[in-house]
Copies of this chain bind each other. A is one copy, B any other.
Amino acid sequence: MAIKTGKEYLESLRRLKPTVYVEGQRYDDKTAKSVIDDPRIKPSLDTIAMVYDMANNPEYAAIMTTTSHLTGEKISRFTHVAQSTEDLELKVRMLRLLQQKSGGVCIMRCSTLDGLASPYSITYEMDQKLGTEYHKRFKEFVKRVQQNDLYVNLAVTDPKGDRRLRPREQKDPDMYLRVVKKESDGIVVRGAKFHQTAAIGAHVRLVTPTRALAADEKDYAVMFSVPADAKGTTLVASQTAPVADRLEGEEGIAKDLARYASHTTWTFFDDVFVPWEDVYMYGEYEYTHPLIIRFGGQHRATYGGCFAGRGDTWMGLAAALAETHGLSRDSIINDKIVEIAYLNEVMFGLGIACAHCGFKTPSGVYIPDEKLANALKINISRAPYEQVRLLEYICGGIFLTIPSEKDVRHPELRERIDKYIKEVDGIPAEDRIRLVSLLNVILGGSIRGSLAGPYGSCMGAAGGEGAAKVHLRTCIDIEGNKRLAKLAAGIVQD
């Protein structure tokens, strides 16, 4: 029973009752309806469920599962802590695969995957050096995660307040999550964590510091886990599926394109009690630096897989859009398609390199190479913008003006829209509508042209870059300039 199916995952969530707000609607242990059925949240949980299902698919067993070094049982790779550089590499490859399956949607469960390794290794070193019991506790935690195939949601980023000030210098001491009371049986923590990926889909939360801390910041040097619906925790959802919420019950493109989605949250910790057995660090500030560094390396390396997998769909979309135009054999268009692929392979290659240059920590866990992981993250902070630009280039301006699905499906409009949107013989109008809609989802989360407009018009307005370049070619004096070069080279004389 170590590896859950998607269905089992969703059922297991139903038993939890976290306090969650979704666009102003509150869910808690008193509401009849579960947040997991909220149409703004459901697509993201379906995505995670797909990830669970993939681990049950024999075709992908080698990449999606492995053997626990703690229990010897077969487990999902998402609950594994890497025992080799090969494990690190398989993680990157698994993420590329999964992003291909999700059509480029964040598959979210890497929050578990990347959350465990750094605490596992650091608590080991703390126990060795300090005689604490943190690693013993954390190992039990990992075992539980593996045996129940849990989705652990990691909460790292504090609000931070004034960026020039350290935690203890902030006017409001809660700008970084901290221990406000120490009791015999545990601690009480207060603060908030921003930017969790898919925390509504979690069974349990793992909370760590967000930065290196100093000797007088011991109350901030705290790491622990809490149940998903721990008393005092409140979640607010964001990045909720933008389409499904308005089309509940309907079928069509919006529904199809929202099949997979993601969500994010903020979590508030209002004096939450954590029993000692769930505390993995408290006060050992000197370990916060390596904890963060290793986590950074771990998580940044992952993106080499994610963004390449996402980019695979993007490259395919570029090629499919070119095909609708009849331009599959156009040199310039193909150059752009290969450019998108090139950017993918750089990200992927760096992910592989991070894995392969990974190092073994004293605990036995492997962590990706820190230097390469940061180089990868810098690369990923740049490449997708160019990929998106190239997608818009190839698509042409229609992504800015495509009508809403209600119009596309309207009995009085359908025929006309189909007639005019169709390009190449043999490719149905519907296909083009869907491909452009997919681009719009990539650009701004909705299939309507409306949303990409404010920003994307720089490409489409007054003709795209390609049109301008063709036009520019007619304005420049290539022959005259050739003559200048030949004069300079002494080939012709004045």
Complex: A326 Cα to B175 Cα, angstroms: 14
Complex: A348 Cα to B241 Cα, angstroms: 38
The answer to whether B331 touches A491, judged by C-beta atoms less than 8 angstroms apart, is: no
Return A117 CB to nearest CB of chain B, in Å.
Answer: 14
Complex: A430 Cα to B339 Cα, angstroms: 36
Return A266 CB to nearest CB of chain B, in Å.
Answer: 6
The answer to whether A476 touches B21, judged by C-beta atoms less than 8 angstroms apart, is: no
The answer to whether A349 touches B335, judged by C-beta atoms less than 8 angstroms apart, is: no
Return A362 CB to nearest CB of chain B, in Å.
Answer: 20
The answer to whether B472 touches A266, judged by C-beta atoms less than 8 angstroms apart, is: no
A141 at the interface (CB under 8 A from B): no
Set of chain B residues within 8 Å of A346, measured between Cβ atoms: 346, 350, 375, 379
The answer to whether A488 touches B239, judged by C-beta atoms less than 8 angstroms apart, is: no
Complex: A443 Cα to B21 Cα, angstroms: 24
Q: Mark A396-424, 1 if CB is under 8 A from B, else 0.
A: 01101111101101101100110111111
Which residues A325-382 have CB closer than 8 A to chain B? 325-327, 330-332, 334-335, 337-339, 341-342, 345-346, 348-354, 356-357, 370-372, 374-382
Return A377 CB to nearest CB of chain B, in Å.
Answer: 4
**Which of B174, B315, B325 contacts A478, CB < 8 Å?**
B315
How many A residues touch B, CB cutoff 8 Å? 179
Set of chain B residues within 8 Å of A192, measured between Cβ atoms: 416, 419-420
The answer to whether B468 touches A316, judged by C-beta atoms less than 8 angstroms apart, is: no
**Which of B330, B377, B488 contacts A463, CB < 8 Å?**
B377
A265 at the interface (CB under 8 A from B): yes
Return A163 CB to nearest CB of chain B, in Å.
Answer: 4
A446 at the interface (CB under 8 A from B): yes
Set of chain B residues within 8 Å of A234, measured between Cβ atoms: 413, 416
Set of chain B residues within 8 Å of A339, measured between Cβ atoms: 469
Q: Kindly name the residue among A194, A253, A464 whose own CB sees the greatest number of chain B CB atoms within 10 A.
A: A194
The answer to whether A475 touches B239, judged by C-beta atoms less than 8 angstroms apart, is: no
A386 at the interface (CB under 8 A from B): yes
9 contacts between A and B (CB under 8 A): A162-B326, A236-B403, A296-B468, A323-B482, A341-B478, A371-B475, A378-B465, A437-B489, A444-B454
